[in-house]
Amino acid sequence: MPANPPLCYQCKKRVADTYRPTDGRFLCSKCFSTWVVDTVRRTIKKGKLFKRDDRIVVGLSGGKDSVVLLDILYQLERDFPSELIAVCIDEGIAGYRDDGLPIARRNAKRLGIEFRLFSFKELFGYTLDEIVARSRELRQTLPSTRQTKLIQHAPCSYCGVFRRKALNYAARVVEGDKVATGHNLNDVSQTILLNLLRGDVARLLQNTLTPTEKAHDLFVPRVKPLQMVAERSVVLYAFYNQLTYHMTECPYAVEAMRLDVRDFLTTIEEKYPGTLGAIRNSIHSLTSQRSTADKTPLPFSKITLCKICSEPSKTVICKGCQMLEALFQKNSLKSDPSP
Ligand code: SF4
Ligand SMILES: [Zn+2]
Ligand SMILES: [Zn+2]
């Protein structure tokens, strides 16, 4: 901000507090918050993320993104007959998730939104800490000839597989129509670049930005209403609206390749503003063109039911059950919520 802040470009009444990243205009905190909410509104409308009467499951961790998402959806969905329900997945990460849980719960309570908690321990029999510890133990004790990829994953890979499964299961239990997650523009761009760097074409071309036809009845479609809002704007929105959120970083985050990609993209975005949006938009236009023009099935398109847990899966035995089998010679999703 300049030494003598100018008046807000929008209301022309209050002193500007920050600038709008898309055009560099100076805005007061109030007009900035309105712009963030409008951006989310446009994203929902343009991408047809929700139907008027959807029961929307908001994945609420207590971190800034999900807290901001809940706050904005609360404002936007008041105009519709839709319903919001907050679902928190406790992965079982000591000193991290247990601190975030009460914050998540308080945020839902503040808005009068129903809050439901599901945990890895309850659903799969193990906390993420136990899964990671077992993987490290097997890597040290098993001869290398008996080590498979399934026991060699980084913590975030285990976490991602089980969290996706848990959130989908939880959404069915609470009879949700859509799952809304707090992924912001930075997250979305990071994922695109990560898939590219890993050569994962199937994931790269999978349209995760707008709801597509349900691949299976037991899959609850996931949407990302904050996909056009950069992380900086999420933080400023939380600050200007005095939202309380959990700030600690997950202890396993340092082991993730995503962290390097995040740092790289932050540097690039600072040097060349608009890069994050360009990455997101290019893959969005590619996937939407593909969904309307090219109907060739992608390798992941065939969904079946896992032989062990009966959850929808691309393979005969789902990744989660394969992981548990390799680590503990067990597998589970403990109960069956199928209607
Ligand atoms: S940083 Fe990794 S392990 Fe931690 S919550 Fe996120 S995905 Fe899970
Ligand atoms: Zn203003
Ligand atoms: Zn399974």
Identify the three-state secondary structure at position 134. helix
Pocket flag, ligand 1, residue 62 (CB < 6 Å): no
Q: What is the pLDDT of residue 148?
A: 82
pLDDT in tens, the chain (339 residues): 766 779 999 999 999 999 999 999 999 999 999 999 999 999 999 999 999 999 999 999 999 999 999 999 999 999 899 999 999 999 999 999 888 999 999 999 999 999 999 999 999 999 999 999 999 999 888 877 777 888 888 999 999 999 999 999 999 999 999 999 999 999 999 999 998 998 988 888 876 777 766 778 899 999 999 999 999 999 999 999 999 999 998 999 877 788 899 999 999 999 999 999 999 999 888 887 665 555 454 544 578 899 999 999 989 999 999 999 999 986 555 544 444
Of 25, 3, 27, 24, give the one whose Cα is nearest residue 16: 27
Beta bridge partners of 63: 246
Q: Report which of 161, 67, 142, 51 is spatially closest to residue 106, judged by C-alpha positions.
A: 67
The Å distance, Cα 160 to ligand 2 centre, comes to 40
Residue 100: both structure tokens together: 């975030």
Q: pTM of the predicted model, to two decimals?
A: 0.89
Handedness of CA 56, 48, 287, 186 (dihedral sign): negative
User: Which residue is it, tokens 């996931």?
Assistant: 222
Helix/strand/coil for 176: coil
Q: How do the domains of the chain map onto residue ranges? A: 1-37, 48-290
Question: What CA–CA distance (Å, rounded) separates 234 from 231?
Answer: 5
> Is residue 249 classed exposed, middle or buried when 0-12, 13-18 and 19+ CB atoms within 10 A define those classes?
exposed
In this structure, what token pair is assigned to residue 271?
A: 């040097």
Neighbours of 49 (CB within 10 A): 22
Confirm if 163 and 93 have CB atoms less than 8 A apart: no
Q: List, in order, residues 6 or more apart from 187 with CB less than 8 Å away.
A: 65, 231
Per-residue model confidence (pLDDT) at position 333: 53
User: What's the CA-to-centroid distance between 256 and ligand 1, angstroms?
Assistant: 8
Closest ligand to Cα 324: 3
Rounded CA-CA distance 66/54 in Å is 19
Q: Is the CB of 89 under 6 A from ligand 1?
A: no
Nearest atom of ligand 1 to the alpha carbon of 250: 4
CA 313 – ligand 3 centroid, Å? 7
Q: Compute the C-alpha angle 135/141/146, nearest 5°.
A: 80
Q: Which ligand is nearest to the CA of 11?
A: 2
Pick from 120, 117, 95: nearest CA to 104: 117
pLDDT for position 67: 98
Contact between 153 and 30 (Cβ < 8 Å)? no
Among the listed residues 153, 124, 158, 122, the one whose alpha carbon sits nearest the alpha carbon of residue 138: 153
* Backbone phi and psi for residue 18, each to the nearest 5 degrees, phi listed first: -160, -175
The dihedral through the CA atoms of 125, 130, 135, 138 has a sign that is negative
Q: Pick the atom of ligand 1 nearest to 253's CA.
A: 1
Between CA 1 and CA 237 the distance in angstroms is 17
Ligand with smallest separation from the Cα of 6: 2
Phi and psi for 77 in degrees, rounded to 5?
Answer: -80, -5
Task: Quote the CA–CA distance of 188 and 202 in Å, as a whole number.
Answer: 16
User: Of all protein residues, whose CA lies closest to atom 4 belonging to ligand 1?
Assistant: 250
Given a contact cutoff of 8 angstroms between Cβ atoms, the answer to whether 22 and 29 are in contact is no
- The token duo for 166 is 């848990």
The whole-number pLDDT of residue 334 equals: 52
Angle at 284 between CA 281 and CA 286, to 5 degrees: 110
CATH superfamily of 48-290: HUPs (3.40.50.620)
